[in-house]
Copies of this chain bind each other. A is one copy, B any other.
Amino acid sequence: MLTYSFEGITKPLYIHLYQCIREDILSGVLPANSRLPSKRSFAKHLGVSVITVENAYAQLQSEGFLYSLPKKGFFVSPIETRVTQWPETPLPAAEPTVPPALTPAIQLSFASNRTAAENFPFPIWAKLTRETLSEHREELMEPSPAGGLPELRTAIAQHLKQFRNMDVRPEQIIVGAGTEYLYSLLIQLLGFDKVYAVENPGYQKIPRIYQSHGVEVQYISLDAGGMSIKQLEEKGADVAHISPSHHYPTGMVTPIGRRYELLAWAAQQPSRYIIEDDYDSEFRLSGKPIPTLQSIDQSGKVIYMNTFTKTLSSTIRISYMVLPRPLLAQFDRTLGFYACTVSNFEQHTLARFIAEGHFERHINRMRNRYRLIRDGLLSALHHSDLHAQVVQISGQDSGLHFLLKLDTQLSDQELLKKAEQAQLRLSCLSQYYLTEEDEPPQHILLINYSGLAPEEIPQAVNLLERCLK
């Protein structure tokens, strides 16, 4: 009879017995269809209780190693373990949490818009989270509708009314874990057979997301008014993805005339839509915010999108879109089965953050802070040796960056390389040209300043000076 030693075994005896038998089955010691000892005789033979053998057999049976025949006992299942082996690909190295040693450490950056930890409203967020977790337990366990919790959607609708003068019903708002995710939902809603048009120059990630979903992307050049309608027509676009209130990176505002042309273009075909990406309209630093395209759309052709990742923190993944009424029923029918991707805990917290006025105060505080940094930076540039090389500064009234055109012999490539050596991270407008079609303008820097602390301004300008010498 089969014999296994139980000496020194600290785990449950049935687990040990299960493992021993399993090994013998997999190695072929116990051949297919061979009969195992009866429970009672096996238990006696091994000096364990019948229940130990019973549990081991039960586990082996439930995993399919054994089968049983009534009144005949337990038998080994025939198992074919041979699997063709593919050569193993070496595992890539762990994601570097620090840049590789050869790249000089970056001290300061004009290339990122990360929120500094000190700017996030931690005390109030912590208070609201605490209250949510203690006062809303039942609601926190109720599944959220696909589009998000009614409380949050109502708060966002009110915010859009007050801040953007948009008349939006909470049902039109769809909350999701970041705009990237919402683009994916939109492709599912509008169709994988559609042609998606993106701005060129533009934010590289947007065409990448469309391409990752296997849909056709067309790059549309920008003229003085924004996306060229002629190119939209020529390239057979169905969906135009634009940021009319503040284009990244040029800072361009699509003028009202072009806006109506875009709406007219969309209204010509039932398949046509416009995605209005309003990613940083909160941070216009002069005048009033530019009205949205959505608010003059009478034909239900504009899908408005915005995010809390720019205003609060990129590490809070909450964005939303406003669907035009004609798309609402379609969303409910085709995508309403999805679970909302944002946890109830953060939806509740954010709903209160907005409804109690904290969001508005936070934006005002941040706008003042950004204005301060911008003014400090412009003044420092003006008083630096760089001043003589500054050809033009533009886009300084809105958003979190401006364009700085320089008079220099250096190519953009050389400039970026010198900057890295000076431990300063820069980005150039030319890097945002996504096709070979248009000749990218040279010597225009994108000065993203929201990640900079006011006290870092002198050093940042100093480093920039050094790059251009």
Contact = CB atoms under 8 A, between A and B. Distances in A.
Judged by DSSP, the binding face of A is loop
Given A15-B288, A298-B83, A259 B64 contact: yes
A225 interface: yes
A328 to B, nearest CB: 5
Nearest to A267: B84
A77 B257 contact: yes
- A contact residues, range: 35 or more
A188 B171 contact: no
A254 to B, nearest CB: 7
Nearest to A56: B287
B205 A337 contact: yes
A274 to B, nearest CB: 12
B264 A83 contact: yes
Given A80-B261, A125-B133, A188-B213, A315 B140 contact: yes
A89 B172 CA distance: 13
B140 A63 contact: no
A141 B263 CA distance: 38
B268 A84 contact: yes
Taken together, the copies of this chain in the complex come to: 2
B171 A212 contact: no
A338 B79 CA distance: 41
Interface string A180-217: 11001000100010000000000001001100111000
Given A137-B117, A299-B86, A300-B86, A79 B126 contact: no
A329 B339 CA distance: 29
A55 interface: yes
A208 B92 contact: no
A101 interface: no
B62 A326 contact: no
Contacts of A150: 95, 97
A71 interface: no
A81 B334 CA distance: 33
A234 interface: no
Contact of A79 (B77, B205, B256): B256
A93 to B, nearest CB: 8
A116 B141 contact: yes
Contact of A257 (B80, B143, B267, B298): B80
Nearest to A11: B288
Contacts of A92: 171, 328-329, 332
Contacts of A339: 178, 180, 309, 314, 317
A83 B299 contact: yes
A27 B332 CA distance: 37
Nearest to A129: B129
Contacts of A325: 88-91
Contacts of A290: 62-63
B58 A287 contact: yes
Interface string A13-48: 001001000000000000000000000000000000
Contact of A177 (B55, B177, B314): B177
A312 to B, nearest CB: 10
Interface stretch (A340-348, A353-361, A402-410): A340-348
A164 interface: no
Interface centre among A177, A178, A329 (most CB of B within 10 A): A177
A183 to B, nearest CB: 11
A442 interface: no
Nearest to A169: B91
15 contacts: A64-B256, A65-B256, A77-B256, A83-B267, A88-B326, A90-B325, A92-B171, A140-B313, A177-B181, A177-B341, A178-B341, A180-B339, A315-B345, A316-B344, A317-B342
Given A89-B325, A314-B339, 17 more contacts: A77-B256, A77-B257, A89-B328, A89-B329, A92-B329, A95-B145, A95-B150, A114-B143, A115-B141, A117-B137, A122-B133, A205-B337, A208-B337, A212-B335, A315-B344, A317-B342, A346-B346
